Amino acid sequence: MKRLFVMSAAFAVFALTAAAQETRSAWSGVYTAAQAERGKVLFTENCARCHGDNLAGIEMAPALSGSSFLSNWNGENVANLVDRIRTTMPADDPGKLSRVSATDLTAFILASNAMPAGEFELARDQPLQAAIRIDALKPN
């Protein structure tokens, strides 16, 4: 009985992991244009003074668009980007941004990297975001 329980628990973990690995690309329209617009306003308020008004970055703050950003986040998932923003930014007041705000900001960053908007908003739930893969290049 006990062994059976252990086995089924292991199976459940496997199944969950497998589900989590079924990912889609951030190039597949994972946010809406309106959401990116909200993110744009948040960006100006909170981020532009360090990351630059063109997201190009300075010595202390990395670029949030272009080749080096895409390389750095290639293969990562959207949840990790949202969490990086939510827990460490803005540098003078981290924790200020809600998960919803950090999600909207992420939508703006994806838009700034030429990833297209779609029909549905980027949901704020961590497991859903974890299933969205950041690809440096648009998959064929």
Partner 1 sequence: MRDLSRRMVLSFPFVAALLGRTSAFAQGAAKPADTEWRYYAGTAASNRYAPLEQINAKNFNDLELAWRFKPDMLGPRPEYVYETTPLLIKGKLYTTAGSRRAVVSLDAASGEMIWMHSLDEGERGRNAPRQYSGHGVSYWTDGNEARILYVTPGYQLVALDATTGIPVQDFGVNGVVDLKKDDDQEIDLVTGEVGLHSTPMIIKDVAVVGAAHLSGGAPRTRKNVNGYVRGFDVRTGKRKWIFHTIPRKGEFGYDSWAVPGQAEATGNAGVWAQMSADPELGLVYLPVELPTGDYNGQYRAGNALFGESIVAVDAETGQRKWHYQLVHHGLWDNDIPCASILCDIPVNGKTVKALAQPTKQSFLYVLNRETGEPVWPIRETKVPKGNVPGEWYAPTQPVPSKPPAYDRQGVSIDDLIDFTPALRAEAEKLVKNYTIGGMWTPPTLAVAGGNRGTLHAPSSTGGTNWPGGAYDPDTHIVYVFSQSIVSNYGVIKNSNTDVSDFDYVSGVPGQAVQPTRPMGAPRPAPAARAAAPAAGGGDGEGGGAPTVQGLPLLKPPYGRITAIDLTKGEHAWQIAHGETPDNIKNHPALKGLKIPRTGRPGLLGPLCTKSLVICGEAGFAITPTGARGAMLRAYDKATGEEKGAVYMPAPQTGSPMTYMLGGEQYLVVATGGGSTSAELLAYRLPRS
| Interface mask toward partner 1 for 105-124; x: CB under 8 A | ---x--xxxx----------
> Which tokens in the block code for residue 58?
């300075």
**Whole-angstrom Cα distance, residue 37 to residue 128?**
21
Site membership for partner 1, residue 94 (CB under 8 A):
yes
22 vs 59 by CB, closer to partner 1: 59
Site membership for partner 1, residue 136 (CB under 8 A):
yes
**Whole-angstrom Cα distance, residue 137 to residue 140?**
9
Q: What's the min distance (Å) between Cβ of 123 and partner 1?
A: 19
Let me know how long the chain is: 140
Task: Kindly tell me which residue out of 62, 116, 123, 130 binds partner 1, with binding defined by CB under 8 A.
Answer: 62
Task: Kindly tell me which residue out of 28, 29, 90, 100 binds partner 1, with binding defined by CB under 8 A.
Answer: 90
Task: Kindly tell me which residue out of 28, 29, 83, 116 binds partner 1, with binding defined by CB under 8 A.
Answer: 83
Quick check: 32 and 118 in contact, CB under 8 A?
yes
Site membership for partner 1, residue 40 (CB under 8 A):
yes
Task: Kindly tell me which residue out of 2, 4, 5, 93 binds partner 1, with binding defined by CB under 8 A.
Answer: 93
* Upper half-sphere CA count for residue 53 (Cβ side, 13 Å): 0
**Whole-angstrom Cα distance, residue 119 to residue 133?**
18
